[in-house]
């Protein structure tokens, strides 16, 4: 009986060592998620309130065929642009006259960044590629990245053609993203829940907890 108890304690100790670091990562990340305001993480306080504009639908002078959706949005001052979404989810940006729109220039991107955010951007970077863990992942490329040189840690990513703010990234978001990767144990694209590692360590953590409860009842009271 004593030999079996020693084996059980040794087995539980090694299980606890293996799972301890991941349990710590889950706890630290959980505390961060619970106490940090998600709106602050998303940078929503850096967005300026949208301003209502008057749109005259008679200016829409072209006929759209075989599309899934049509969206008219403001872009530059006194300018409206049209997004056509096809059945294949391909987006096409046009003027009200139906002419294809070229990407925004650097100056236009900075102007729209100033109009839509309070970042006071003075720098614009053209982005046309992304790795799996890029902070703008999931957004349609290309993008304009705009920011102030005096506050380079906080940036806005703008759609290259429509100029819409697709994401704002700051240090809080980068910490959130890092801790999220530890939390779900996906260190590549950081978006996959249910990875093999997560399943393995979840089972190990459960076994460790159950083993600890078992030790409580199996060990003689003198150990406590």
| Whether residues 112 and 127 fall in one domain | yes
| Mean pLDDT to the nearest integer, 113-119 | 96
| Whether residues 106 and 24 fall in one domain | no
| Whether residues 165 and 61 fall in one domain | yes
| Whether residues 151 and 219 fall in one domain | no
pLDDT at 1 over 60: no
pLDDT at 219 over 90: no
Of 60-64, 128-132, 137-141, 174-178, the range with the lowest mean pLDDT is 60-64
Boundaries of domain holding 28: 2-38+175-223
| Whether residues 112 and 156 fall in one domain | yes
Q: What is the pLDDT of residue 216?
A: 67
| Whether residues 64 and 109 fall in one domain | yes
| Whether residues 82 and 179 fall in one domain | no
| Whether residues 118 and 186 fall in one domain | no
| Whether residues 94 and 142 fall in one domain | yes
| Whether residues 119 and 216 fall in one domain | no
The answer to whether the beta carbons of residues 146 and 109 sit under 8 Å apart is yes
User: pLDDT tens for residues 185-216?
Assistant: 888 888 888 888 888 888 888 877 777 776 66
Please count the residues of the chain. Answer: 224
If 0-12 CB within 10 Å is exposed, 13-18 middle and 19+ buried, where does residue 105 land?
exposed
Give pTM, 2 decimals.
0.82
User: pLDDT tens for residues 16-30?
Assistant: 777 888 888 999 999
SS3 state at 200: helix
* Closest-CA residue to 33 (of 201, 209, 198, 181): 181
| Whether residues 151 and 69 fall in one domain | yes
Domains: count for the chain: 2
| Whether residues 141 and 99 fall in one domain | yes
Residue 138, token pair as written in the block: 């999931």
| Mean pLDDT to the nearest integer, 143-162 | 96
Q: Compute how many other C-beta atoms are within 10 angstroms of the C-beta atom of residue 90.
A: 10
- Domain boundary, last residue among 169, 185, 207: 169
Average pLDDT, the chain: 86
Q: What is the pLDDT of residue 198?
A: 87
């Amino acid at each position: 009986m004593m030999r079996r108890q020693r084996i059980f304690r040794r087995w539980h100790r090694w299980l606890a060592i293996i799972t301890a670091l991941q349990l710590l990562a889950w706890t630290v990340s959980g505390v961060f998620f619970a106490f940090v305001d998600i709106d602050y993480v998303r940078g929503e306080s850096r967005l300026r309130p949208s301003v209502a504009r008057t749109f005259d639908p008679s200016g829409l002078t072209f006929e759209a065929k075989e599309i899934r959706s049509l969206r008219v949005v403001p872009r530059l001052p006194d300018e409206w642009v049209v997004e056509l979404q096809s059945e294949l989810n391909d987006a096409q940006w046009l003027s009200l006259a139906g002419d294809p729109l070229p990407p925004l220039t650097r100056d236009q991107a900075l102007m729209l960044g100033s109009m839509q955010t309070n970042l006071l951007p003075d720098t614009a970077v053209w982005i046309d590629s992304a790795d799996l863990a890029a902070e703008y992942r999931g957004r349609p490329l290309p993008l304009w990245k705009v920011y102030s040189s005096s506050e380079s840690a906080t940036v806005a990513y703008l759609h290259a053609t429509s100029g819409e703010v697709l994401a704002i990234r700051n240090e809080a978001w980068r910490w959130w993203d890092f801790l999220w990767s530890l939390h779900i144990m996906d260190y590549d694209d950081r978006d996959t829940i249910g990875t093999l590692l997560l399943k393995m360590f979840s089972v190990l953590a459960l076994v460790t907890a159950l083993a600890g409860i078992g030790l409580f009842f199996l060990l003689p009271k003198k150990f406590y």
